[in-house]
Amino acid sequence: DAKTTQPNSMESNEEEPVHLPCNHSTISGTDYIHWYRQLPSQGPEYVIHGLTSNVNNRMASLAIAEDRKSSTLILHRATLRDAAVYYCILRVGPSGYSTLTFGKGTMLLVSP
Amino acid sequence: EAQVTQNPRYLITVTGKKLTVTCSQNMNHEYMSWYRQDPGLGLRQIYYSMNVEVTDKGDVPEGYKVSRKEKRNFPLILESPSPNQTSLYFCASSLSSRAQAFFGQGTRLTVV
């Protein structure tokens, strides 16, 4: 499986935008980029995913580099509730079995 | 409300006493899986099930059993728990192995 590299931790202030980077230089053409987050004392939750084009949903935006070797999860206005560990995961698609393998992720700290 | 429900949320047991952690989902998902989360090791998959009566080992299956007799339920069985199985356990379900996964709230197990 192609691997991802994320910073161990990042800090932000409340109501400021946050850009969480992820490097995946060995990504293959059919790998989707998924983001999950895990709030303290909770199970992981899906945030967003994409293949080539930038994606937006109610939680966040995903910006994917043109060569797909990196991506950035964007939280437009961080809140205290966004403090969590964010995982960038590559998943094969569209056919065949694809396990969800978690790395160490990025711990996001949000200050008031 | 779409959800994955695990029970119990907390459990303290003694070495060798068989236990079952239940997992139930109400989204008619075909794919279900179990993870354990340990400090420094992250989330690791224990077992998964592609559908009823179809189960397979994940990355750390030793000491665990599962069954999938009905689509909605995927219990995790520890026949003879040992202290090294003290961990935080998460159940997850999704439409397929590649789809967005929904996680339960977790079960914190302590084996003494």
Among the partner-chain residues A100, A103, A105, the one whose CB lies closest to the CB of B101 is: A100
Q: Which of A84, A87, A83 is nearest to A111 (CA)?
A: A83
pLDDT value of residue A82: 97
Enumerate the residues of chain A whose CB falls inside 8 A of the CB of residue B4.
43
For residue A102, give the nearest of B43, B97, B104 by CB distance. B43
Partnered with residue A31 across adjacent β-strands are A92
What's the whole-number mean pLDDT along residues B20-44?
Answer: 95
Give the pLDDT mean for B87-91: 98
Which pLDDT belongs to residue A2? 64
Q: Give the position of tokens 């929904």.
A: B102
Residues in chain A where the model's pLDDT stays below 70? 1-2, 93-96
B108: confidence class by pLDDT, cuts 50, 70, 90: very high
Which residues contact residue B52 at a Cβ distance below 8 angstroms, ignoring those fewer than 6 apart?
A: B68, B69, B70, B71
Helix (H), strand (E) at residue A73: strand A70-75
Tell me how close the Cα of A103 comes to any Cα of chain B, in angstroms. Answer: 7
Q: How many CB atoms lie within 10 A of CB B40?
A: 5
Phi/psi of residue A80, nearest 5 degrees: -60, -30
Which residues of chain A does B30 touch, with a Cβ-Cβ cutoff of 8 Å?
none
CA distance A58 to B19: 40
- For residue A95, the model assigns a pLDDT of 63
Please give the pLDDT value at position B96: 86
Name B19's Cβ contacts closer than 8 Å, sequence gap at least 6.
B11, B13, B77, B78, B81, B109
Contact between chains at A44 and B90 (C-beta distance less than 8 A): yes
Reference B74, options B3, B23, B4; nearest CA is B23
Beta bridge partners of B109: B11, B87
Mutate to test the interface with A, among B43, B60, B105 (most CBs of A within 10 A): B43
Query: How far away is chain A from the Cα of B97, in angstroms, using its nearest Cα?
Result: 5
What pLDDT, on the 0 to 100 scale, is given for residue B28?
96
- CB contacts of B106 in chain A (<8 Å) are 41-43
Cα–Cα distance measured from residue A58 to residue A38, given in angstroms and rounded to the nearest whole number: 17
Give the minimum alpha-carbon distance from B79 to chain A in angstroms, rounded to a whole number: 25
Residues of chain A in contact with residue B44, where contact means CB-CB under 8 angstroms, are 102
Whole-number Å distance between alpha carbons of A79 and A110? 7
Number of helices (H) and strands (E), helices first, in chain A?
A: 0, 9
